[in-house]
Structure 1
Amino acid sequence: LKKVEDLTRIVARYAGTIKFHQVDFTEAQLALVDACPENMLTVVMRRLMLLVSEKLARRQKAKCLITGESLGQVASQTLEAIAATDAITTMPIFRPLIGTDKNETIEIARRIGTYETSILPYEDCCTVFVSKHPKTHPSLLDVEIAEEGLDLEALADAVLDKIDTYPIKAYTN
């Protein structure tokens, strides 16, 4: 959590005070691990995260979601995986980094001061619950079959009930 808060403080230099939403996905992810085929875990987890994000955004009266995805950087960022993930929401999703390659992203991170913090090692929900062999080109039908027996709406609502929100201000030097 500290690493993410530190990165948020750096970004706050450019954006001003940021409303930080601390989200605990652990229980929901454990439910996914129990019910979902291992090769579909990443895309189903991302769909759940997007569903939670959409519900939170609507509570906040936001009009869209913005992500930092870059096409092809990781298994969950293939065109098929992104399309299957997006199908869970009706809210527009903007991806300003979608066409940037890894080196361009690193250069941007260096320029804004987030790179050194971003490469620090830590475990997050994506590293702890990662699939060993994720399906990189899932169809929506693949995802729907993987989600049979899961109630993503109920899981999302349970996650939303535990969100902790607080302001994060920029570091001052």
Structure 2
Amino acid sequence: RQHCPSDMLTIVMRRVMMRIAERIAREQGCKALITGESLGQVASQTLEGLVTTNSVVDMPVFQPLIGLDKDLTTTIARQIGTFETSILPYEDCCTVFVAKHPKTKPSRKDAENAEAGLDIEALVEEGFTKREHLLISGRRA
């Protein structure tokens, strides 16, 4: 936190998470990542933010909810049985460390500069080895 500009913290964390996700996906034999971003819902989900975040992985990133509004996303979550899990109380890194004024149009260069003072590989390794597995048994309505 002290080695990263506050306006870039969320983007940098998301880039680390994408690196971890790709490593897990490769371990599991997956060919792509699927994420749940919806364009413009939060500061890190601007087009520039998504491009900058996804630029750290080599595999395709699919974002099936990209153009849906929050109400429709909530409806789908209820239909597939993931809504209750999604509202469990916990503090995730995006809420704990969110900047008062996050950069909404970060470039890849902005992110690389923000990461320069960090040991990204060590952060990825730690996240990968300390990950938790959660089995979600969804259902269709």
Q: TM-score, normalization: structure 2?
A: 0.87
Q: Deviations over 1:28-63 (max 9, x none)?
A: xxxxx1210000001000000000101111111111
Identity %: 59
Q: Give the equivalent residue in structure 1 for 2:47.
A: 79
Greater length-normalized contact order (CA 8 Å, ≥ 6 residues apart): 1
What is the alpha-carbon root mean square deviation over aligned residues?
2.1
SS of structure 2 residue aligned to 1:35: coil
Q: 1:134 aligns with which of 102, 107, 110?
A: 102
Aligned residue pair count: 139
Structure (1 or 2) with the greater strand fraction: 1
Which one-letter code corresponds to 1:99 in the other structure?
G
**Distance of 1:37 and 1:79 partners within structure 2:** 20
**1:146 corresponds to 2:114:** yes
**Distance of 2:44 and 2:125 partners within structure 1:** 24
SS of structure 1 residue aligned to 2:2: helix
Counting only pairs closer than 5 Å after superposition, residues 85-104 of structure 1 correspond to structure 2 as: 85-104=53-72
Q: Give the equivalent residue in structure 2 for 1:44.
A: 12
**Distance of 2:133 and 2:90 partners within structure 1:** 22
SS of structure 2 residue aligned to 1:110: helix
Which one-letter code corresponds to 2:65 in the other structure?
L
Shift of 1:121: 3.9
Mark the runs of 5 or more structure 1 residues left unpaired by the alignment. Answer: 1-32
> Which protein shows a greater Rg?
1
SS of structure 2 residue aligned to 1:91: coil
Q: TM-score, normalization: structure 1?
A: 0.72
